[in-house]
Amino acid sequence: MKKVFLIALIIAIAAPAFGFKVFYYGGKIVKHGEEQIPWTMRFNNLGTPDCAKEFAALASSLNTWSNVTKQWYRNKRGVNTSTINYGYDGVNLCVWYEPGYSGQGGWPWAAGAIAVNIFWMTDAGTFYKVVENDVCFNGHNFTWSDKGEVYRMDVQNIATHEFGHNLVLADLYDAASRDFTMYGYASTGETKKRTLHQDDINGIRFLYPNDEITLESFTATAREGRVLVAWKVSREENHAGYNLYRLEDVGGGADYVKLNEALIVGRSPYEFEDGGVKAGTAYKYLLESVDLSGGKERFGPARVEVPTAQKRVFALAQSYPNPARTAATIKFALPEATTAELEVYDLSGRRVATLYSGAAEAGEREVVWNLAGDDGSAVAPGVYIYRLRTPGDVAARRLVVAR
């Protein structure tokens, strides 16, 4: 396996629209693989003679990043090691360079560098994967403290920053980032980097999003003149919504087309009615899950054939969007000419609005409810029942009004 040596001075590229930076190498992002987590760091036995609780401070810094919710990265403290110099040796090392440590020598980097984080990595195809990293603290030019003492570098303050590099987040140098953990400068007595700013948290969620959904089913079913696409999930974390794509399955080089304008949101089970289909044609559908950081994962395809001739049926579709904030579109179909009523009720059974009443031709019809009652006033947020009734059939569904 070919290894690449890399120190923390690598050029960092900003993640668009976020207050954090990530490492890129050779045009690929640098990070850990899922199989490497938890990432085990080992502390050199000697620590630093400047304070008594440096190991506890290091462990607290590891936990600070591990305790971020909605991400899957985890740090773990391993057993102490006698390794005193950085190097590719299978040990993720935390070590101080202190005067008098036999066999170590002086601080090999610039005197103003408080700590240095060194990486070894390998090309994993779609990204560069970190296979080892060592953190070296400068005891030759700085004195250390575990209590935030004036004129000393605070162990937890600096270590939390360095373990952010372990993730692999890059330094920030703009003035707006002065209070962030990943700000590239620190001073003696400083302790504000012990805790994370929201942008630091966004960084680890961007790199290691816990955005998996558990998809139980994804189906496409032909209805009269349309296709009903339905999916059910049992888990949604760090999740923003869904996109739905359709492809006319006729062979050749056709591309999938996105059907929704805004993200599809709500609660499982989900339904989407596609009215833009043609009789006698086969279609494929893809479902795209979008996480809060903009990451995407696709499922499918679900394939369906729309029959050439479809029998007219009595049907009441799920309203869209659901939840509704300004208006809700309700579609229904009748197998023959008749009289029909489409009404909305609250959960107590009180009629709120009459959306349609009177004679209706056979076929499909669409009604838009402006979320107002018969008196013209806006209805309160909540769950409502809309019911379609004819002399021979009745159907009802729920919709949610959200303001």
Which pLDDT score is estimated for 46? 96
CATH 3.40.390.10 is right for the domain spanning 4-207: yes
Which pLDDT score is estimated for 234? 82
Pick the CATH number of 312-403 from 3.20.20.140, 3.30.360.10, 2.60.40.1930, 3.30.428.10: 2.60.40.1930
Chain position carrying tokens 């050779």: 26
Which pLDDT score is estimated for 1? 32
- Amino acid, res. 55: F
Distance between start and end Cα atoms, the chain: 56
Which pLDDT score is estimated for 266? 85
- In the β-sheet with 226-236, what is the strand arrangement from edge to edge? 213-223, 226-236, 270-274
Helix (H, G, I), strand (E, B) or coil at 192: helix
Which pLDDT score is estimated for 310? 55
Common-topology check for domains 212-310 and 312-403: yes
Whole-prediction pTM value?
Answer: 0.55
Distance of CA 140 to the CA centre of its chain: 42
Sequence ranges of the domains in the chain: 4-207, 212-310, 312-403
Chain position carrying tokens 């240095």: 116
According to CATH, what is the number of the domain 212-310?
Answer: 2.60.40.10
Helix (H) or strand (E) holding 287: strand 281-291
Q: What is the 3-state secondary structure (H, E, C) of 221-285?
A: EEECCEEEEEEEEEEECCEEEEEEEEEECCCCCCCCEECCCCCECCCCCEEEEECCCCCCEEEEE
pLDDT mean by block of 10 residues, the chain; 403 residues:
40 45 87 88 97 96 87 89 94 96 94 93 90 96 96 96 92 88 93 91 81 80 87 80 89 80 88 89 90 75 82 86 91 91 94 93 90 92 94 92 86
Residue 161 · residue 178 · CB < 8 Å: no
Spatial neighbors of 146 by CB under 8 A, at least 6 apart, are 51, 52, 53, 54, 56, 57, 154, 155, 156
Which pLDDT score is estimated for 278? 86
